[in-house]
Structure formats: structure tokens, C-alpha cells
Amino acid sequence: MRSGPLPGIDVPDEPGRAAALPRCGPLPARLGVTETGPDEPLTVVAAGPAGAARREVLAALLGVPAGMLAVPAGSTLLIRYARVATRAAYVPGYRQPHFYGADQAAAGPALARPPRRVELSLPEPLLRHFGVLDTPDTDTLGVAGGRVLLDAVGRGGALLFVIGADQAFGAAELHLLAEVARARVQVVFVVTPGAGGWSPVEPAEPEDAGAAVPPPSGDATAPVDPAGVAVEAHRAALLAAVPALADARWFPVHRAQHPGLRRALVGWAADEGLRRASLQPPMLPGAHGPVPVPPDADPGNWSEWLERQTRTCARSVRQHLALELANTHLRVVQEIVFGVGCAGLPQLLDREMEALSLLATIQCDYAVREILDEAAARIFGAPVAEGVRRRIAAAVHWGLSEPSPGPDLARVLLVTSTAGVGDVTGVDALADHPGPARAEVLPPVAVALSGGCWQHWSSPGNADQGSARSWAQRALREVELELSREVSRRFEAVRLSLDAVLSDALDHGILLA
């Protein structure tokens, strides 16, 4: 017997036999600044700490009363252009949005839980250039909320950060801004007066008044602009931690109107709109015309490869989500004991589920794109053009609606007050920042807290930390099991549909999509 280390499991036993174990490419491990797509709507994402008068700044920018921009705590406000003013609340678990008056005196609907987002449509000409997304205060977001904010900033393209003159950048805010600085995102800072207004700044006096000092060339008694001093102080503190934001623009708020800020945002929207329009040609190569299968193409046992590859990718996604849920459980327990307590558990866990949904969607999309590209290359003998890939993806997506894969894939998983997981159809209510029509094969993954769960833990009578920790552990375990089944079901549906599309192409010698 020959001594030495044992070979790896992927090393073939015989010299002439090659190992062909399926591998899934590296998946995105965490949620960050999403790359801007050419079809994403231009959006300015407003963020900042509490007490910085962010709502008043947006109201003055749009020319509306500040009360029109009020939303429940933890909800996002998406402001779009429309010829008629409307307002709608999107609540997870509700199949239709709740519409109510857009005026300042309109009372919102009585909902079982706060909406994920509120959409306000206004006939404001500025909104023709870009939309505005007002997010919750940065000091209440936590780890998961910060990741959701980064995703929205990346897709929107611009961040409007509002901070008060008497406030300082926190560690979480500096981390968020450092993540944004590494992406192609326009960052604009607005400094508002503090609680007591702009702090007066006295001109500095010489240390030795009796020394013979030559008189200054200018007016020694010239007043110092306190707003400018506050802006420079905040800018210096930020650049000491995030030097990559040296090109960011700063605006102090002096009055109700902000013409400089409006011009800066409109100029960004014009440049960014042209840049996004140039990213994608009007007609993708391969979008039309026949796509024949080469007569000498040898796909081999591609159907067996497809089955192995989909199972491998599904297992990889499940492992990533299980690890993320384990980290979520640690953060939830820490917040229950040392942070928000039982009363803040619904908002905390719902935000964690929102970040988890975005991560699961990105990972599933990435894995399915990889499977589709490699399977098409095996059938057609070479990597296909983008237009051909989209035709195949559209055909696979259409095949998912057939009765064979099973129930509808576009559904929402709701965590109940008994630590169970139910489901309802409809995903649109869960998106904080809805984008254009998806070009991906699968619908997004959606997990949220039900209204009954929200009311249960928001009640003052349910303040036992031990019960809350036990419930959170059981609920996250049920979410893990349900997501595992959901991911397996999705990849199996993709396998069946893609197998049918490519088998038809092989049988007819041409792509029928």
C-alpha cells in the first residue's frame, strides 16, 4: 500500500476518466450597493439621522406642506410624478394597495401593520426628472436596514444625506457612506440648522493683544458665516473617515427655497439619464431572427447535466441563506436583550426579512442566469448573444406559469404570531423601491411579518424577553425550512421549463422562442 495523503473527492480514480462534478459559481455573499441597471428609474434616495428636518427639506424642494410627507414609523415614502395627486399604502399580506387622500388632512387607513412603502404621486414638475425615496432615520435602520438602503441607493443612483448642524456622523452612518463611496453614485449633503438655529461664530482674537501685530489687510470685524462654518466642519469630519467623498457637493439650508440644490439634482438627472440610455442599445443583438442549432453541435448528456447543476445551485443558495439566518438570529437576540426589546421586535425582524428577501432574490437570479447561459452554450455550440438569452429567459418564464411546476411562484411568505409561516399571492407590496418590469426568469423572493404577528409583539402585555427569544428562534427556523423548500421548488420549476425550451430547439433544429 502506498502511503501519503488521500486524494480529494473530485480527483478521478482512473487516469482516463475526468471528473465532472457540477459546481455553482460564487454567489453574492451579502447585500450591498446594487449595480444600476439601464432600465431603473432615476431616484434620489433621502437619508439622514432623526432630528435633521429631512422631511422639511424635501417638502421645500417639492413645494408641498411637510405634513403631506408623513408616513408611519419604519415605512418608506416614494414620491413620483403624476397629473393627479394620489396616495397608496402597500402592506405585506394585502393583495391590493390601500388608496387614500393625498392632501395633508387625509387620514390613512387603519392597517394591521405599517406598510412597507407609501407611494405619493404629485403634479410637481421636478418629479419629471427623478423620483424621491424618503427612507427611515439612519439611527433606526440597524444592519439589515442599512443593507436595504444601500440596495435602493445603488438602483436609484443618488443619495441626498441630510444632517443637522448640531449633529455628528455616527459609526453606522460613516460605514454606510463608505459603502456608497465605492459605487457609481452621486452623493449630495444638506446641512440644516440645529435645534437652536445656526450657532454664532465669533472671529478669533490674537493670543497676545499687546504684541505689535500688523493690521490685517481685510476687515477684522467682518462677520463669519455660521452656515459655512458648519458645512466645513461636517465636511472635514466626513473626509477624515471617508476621503473618497471629496467630490460630493454640500448645501447649507438658509431659507425655504433651495434653487442651488434643485439645479444640482436636475443636472445629475440629465447626465445620469443619458449615461443609462447609452448602456444598452435600442435593439439587442439576437433579439430577432432565427437562431439555428449547429448540425455538428454535440451537447452530450445535457439534460442530466442540467438536473445536476440545478440541484447543486439550489443547495448552494440554501446554504447561503441558512448562514444568513443564523447571523440574523444572533442580531435579533442581541436587540431583544440589549436594544429595542420586545416592542421593537416586529420592526426589527421585518427589516431583517426584507434584507433576506433581497439577498435570496439576487442569489437565485445569479444562479439561474449561470445555468441558462451554460445550457444554451451547450446546445448552440457557443455563448449566445444577449438578445437570444433574453428570448430563452422569456420562454422559460412563460413556462413557469404552466400547471406542471405546481403553485404560483409569485407569493409572499408571512411569519405568523405562532412562529409559523403562511403564504399569500402578490409580491409588489414588499418592495421598498419598486423598479421596472423584471427581465429575470424567477419572481422575487418575499418574506415579511403578518399583521397579527406585528400586533402581538407590539402589545405592552407581551414584554417577556425569554418568550420573545424562544419565539424568534422558532420563527427563524420555520423561515429557514420554508425558504429551503421554496428555493428547491423554484430551481426544479426552472429545470423543467428550460429543459422543454431547449429540447424543442434540438428537435426542430432552431430556437422556437
pLDDT band per the 50, 70, 90 thresholds, residue 407: low
Nearest of 10, 13, 31 to residue 21 by alpha carbon: 10
**Per-residue pLDDT tens over the stretch 84-136:** 999 999 888 888 888 887 776 666 667 888 999 999 999 999 999 999 999 99
Helices (H), 38-91: 54-62
Q: Which three cell numbers stand for residue 413?
A: 411568505
Instruction: Return the pLDDT at 6.
Output: 42
Instruction: Return the pLDDT at 101.
Output: 76
Q: What does the alpha-carbon distance between residue 16 and residue 437 come to, in Å, rounded to a whole number?
A: 49
Q: What does the alpha-carbon distance between residue 445 and residue 120 come to, in Å, rounded to a whole number?
A: 25
At CA 400, angle to CA 373 and CA 447, rounded to 5? 95
DSSP string, 149-176: HHHHHHHHEEEEEEEETT----HHHHHH
pLDDT band per the 50, 70, 90 thresholds, residue 480: very high
Adjacency order of strands within the sheet including 421-425? 421-425, 411-415, 447-449
Burial class (CB in 10 A: 0-12, 13-18, 19+), 368: buried
Q: What does the alpha-carbon distance between residue 318 and residue 364 come to, in Å, rounded to a whole number?
A: 10
Residue in this structure with the C-alpha cell 439587442, named with its chain if needed: 284
Query: Does pLDDT of 10 surpass 60?
Result: no
Instruction: Return the pLDDT at 199.
Output: 59
Residue in this structure with the C-alpha cell 435600442, named with its chain if needed: 282
Lowest-pLDDT range of 255-269, 349-363, 365-379, 394-408: 394-408
Nearest of 450, 149, 154, 447 to residue 321 by alpha carbon: 447
Q: Are strands 131-134 and 76-81 parallel, antiparallel or unpaired?
A: antiparallel
Q: What is the mean pLDDT of the chain?
A: 84
43-63+124-199+224-279: CATH topology: Rossmann fold (3.40.50)
Residue in this structure with the C-alpha cell 425550451, named with its chain if needed: 501
**CB under 8 Å to 126, separation ≥6 — which residues?**
61, 62, 262, 265, 266
DSSP string, 182-223: TSS-EEEEEEE-BTTBSPP-PPPPPS-TTS--PPPSS-TTPP
pLDDT band per the 50, 70, 90 thresholds, residue 340: confident
Q: Is 71 helix (H, G, I), strand (E, B) or coil?
A: coil
Q: What does the alpha-carbon distance between residue 35 and residue 28 come to, in Å, rounded to a whole number?
A: 12
CB 500 within 8 A of CB 494: no
Stated pTM of the model: 0.87
Q: Is 105 helix (H, G, I), strand (E, B) or coil?
A: coil
CB 165 within 8 A of CB 205: no
Instruction: Return the pLDDT at 256.
Output: 60
Helices (H), 280-344: 302-338
Domain locations in the chain as residue ranges: 43-63+124-199+224-279, 302-508
